[in-house]
Amino acid sequence: MLISSGLMLVAVVAGASPSPPTASQREAQLDLDGDGKSERVVVEPAKPGTFRLRVGEVQVEGELPGVQGFTALDLDSGDKRQEVLVQGEGQGTPRWRLFRYVNGALQEVPLPPGAPSTSGNGILLSDVAMDGWVRRDKYLYDAKKPGFTEVPQELYFVAQTVTAPAPLQLLRAPGNPGAVAMARPGESLSLIAFKPEASAGSGGWYLADSGGVLGWLQASSLRGAPPAASPPASPGTPAAPEARPELYPVNAELRVTTSFPLRYTRQADAPIVARTRQESHLTLLATDGHWYLVRSETKLLGWANTDTLATSLSTLQEGRASARSIQLLLLQLRWLALESSPESPRQRGLPSTQGFVLDSSYASSDDTYHFCANGQVTLELYDATKYGKWTLEEDTLKMVFTRKTGRYGVGKVLNADDGQKNTVLNYERSENYDRKISDTDSLSWSEVVDDAKGRINYGLRSGAPTCL
């Protein structure tokens, strides 16, 4: 079961995520303590490898090679203070030290590792260079210490493409022996997220996409070393996958109008990693059908359940140009819950970026609906095809058909004397027709999903729909 990636709902705007500041000045007049009076702030080199920071008549010296200047930060816009971030550079690597001016004295605020950035909400984001990607850590500012407390994260956003150095198994879950896909040497893998491990030296795990299938790779395996506690991969053709994936790729970008939490794990009472901002832009990266791995606009990863997303997306439908695509994603959310259910009898196709194809079987009739992302619908009947528009109103798919094409028989009936009743008549020849119609149809989506659990009348077909 695969989801085609890239259901683009709303274009993502740039600049939403804070970026590490750069030293822009050596001297400035600033009100650092919020008393309404400006102080002269100066940063300058002192002895080799050290700097001197002066605020008014107060000064401190400290170790920082290659001092370049300072930037005024506002860690918490509610306290009227500004902090001073001094930047240097040693052996080509930027370094920072942070100070605040309190009661006429300069006080250092210990920084966590990495390049710091903040937007005045009491949160510090720190970017740490990893093996070809950047890990973004989150900290809460504590003015009483002063200092920062880390917010634990289960997963970190990666967005890196690598090449498999050897035959690799993609596992269903970290440490799970069940393989969901096999990557051949030289195959391109997209790394989506990183999961650290508690044990030292383990290297952690990557959530990787191999041809639309998501699975987990131990970080050490990408450096050419065999995974811990596993034999080296033998050359030749990899064996067939033996397990069903736990997570499926989505890669849908959208804007939400409501604020909701992103949680540490897929549990309703799990700690909150981040909270979405109203009108913020998010990316749905993967899903298990009930929970979605979401990347916030600040590039933090957390989990949101299907009900939370469906509520937010329903709000978006009102008066939005992207309402049709959002309706399509709502259907996708509900179908995924079925696909991941233990009651699901088999793996089926899922909505693609273009829409989805739904088979409908009643008695001797086999019809096929093609629902396209642009709002068009095509209904393939036994002897004709109808074309129209679709909308989703609450739980009901409504269709209005305005055109019908097909073929009809003309001339002599070839089987008129065979003595059979209720037989299909065969004509001497047939001709095409294309005419305007005014027909309607509707489907209760909840009834479709319930029916599909037993695959009685409805089934979702893989592949993109066909619409005019």
- Read off the pLDDT of residues 41-53 as tens digits, 9 standing for 90 and up: 999 999 899 999 9
Q: Which residues contact 438 (CB under 8 A, 6 or more apart)?
A: 401, 402
For the ranges 278-292, 311-325, 386-400, which has the lowest average pLDDT?
311-325
Over residues 380-406, mean pLDDT = 89
pLDDT at 423: 60
Over residues 363-386, mean pLDDT = 85
Closest CA to 101 of 123, 72, 124: 72
Over residues 392-413, mean pLDDT = 83
443 lies in a domain? yes
How many domains does one find in the chain? 1
pLDDT at 224: 60
pLDDT at 6: 31
To the nearest whole number, what is the mean pLDDT of the chain?
Answer: 80
**Is residue 385's pLDDT more than 90?**
yes
**Residue predicted with more confidence, 357 or 55:** 55
Q: pLDDT band at residue 79, thresholds of 50, 70 and 90?
A: confident
Q: How far is CA 339 from CA 175, 294, 334, in A?
A: 24, 20, 9
N residues, the chain: 468
Give the tokens for residue 252.
């849908």
Q: Which residues contact 452 (CB under 8 A, 6 or more apart)?
A: 338, 348, 458, 459, 460
Give the tokens for residue 132.
């070809």
232 lies in a domain? no
CB 374 within 8 A of CB 324: yes
Q: pLDDT band at residue 59, thresholds of 50, 70 and 90?
A: very high
CB 384 within 8 A of CB 364: no
Q: What is the Cα–Cα distance from 378 to 465, expressed in whole angstroms?
A: 9
**Residue predicted with more confidence, 388 or 203:** 388
Q: What is the Cα–Cα distance from 360 to 366, expressed in whole angstroms?
A: 6
For the ranges 86-100, 182-196, 216-230, which has the lowest average pLDDT?
216-230
For the ranges 52-56, 95-99, 416-420, which has the lowest average pLDDT?
416-420
- Read off the pLDDT of residues 25-41 as tens digits, 9 standing for 90 and up: 899 999 999 899 999 99
- Read off the pLDDT of residues 229-268 as tens digits, 9 standing for 90 and up: 444 444 444 445 567 788 888 777 777 778 899 999 999 9
64 lies in a domain? no
Q: pLDDT band at residue 447, thresholds of 50, 70 and 90?
A: confident
CA 80 to chain CA mean position, Å: 36
H helix or E strand, kind and range, residue 207: strand 205-210
16 lies in a domain? no
- Read off the pLDDT of residues 102-150 as tens digits, 9 standing for 90 and up: 999 999 999 999 999 998 889 999 999 998 999 999 999 999 989 999 9
**Is residue 17's pLDDT more than 80?**
no
419 lies in a domain? yes
Q: pLDDT band at residue 396, thresholds of 50, 70 and 90?
A: confident
243 lies in a domain? no
- Read off the pLDDT of residues 328-357 as tens digits, 9 standing for 90 and up: 666 666 665 555 444 443 444 445 556 778
Q: What is the Cα–Cα distance from 346 to 297, expressed in whole angstroms?
A: 36
140 lies in a domain? no
CA atoms within 13 A on the CB side of 296: 25
Closest CA to 345 of 176, 459, 213, 250: 459
pLDDT at 231: 41
pLDDT at 331: 67
For the ranges 166-180, 257-271, 314-328, which has the lowest average pLDDT?
314-328
CB 181 within 8 A of CB 215: yes
pLDDT at 338: 53
**Is residue 466's pLDDT more than 90?**
no
Q: pLDDT band at residue 5, thresholds of 50, 70 and 90?
A: very low
Model confidence, pTM? 0.72
Determine the structural domain holding residue 406 and report its residue range. 355-461
**Residue predicted with more confidence, 12 or 252:** 252
Q: pLDDT band at residue 156, thresholds of 50, 70 and 90?
A: very high
115 lies in a domain? no
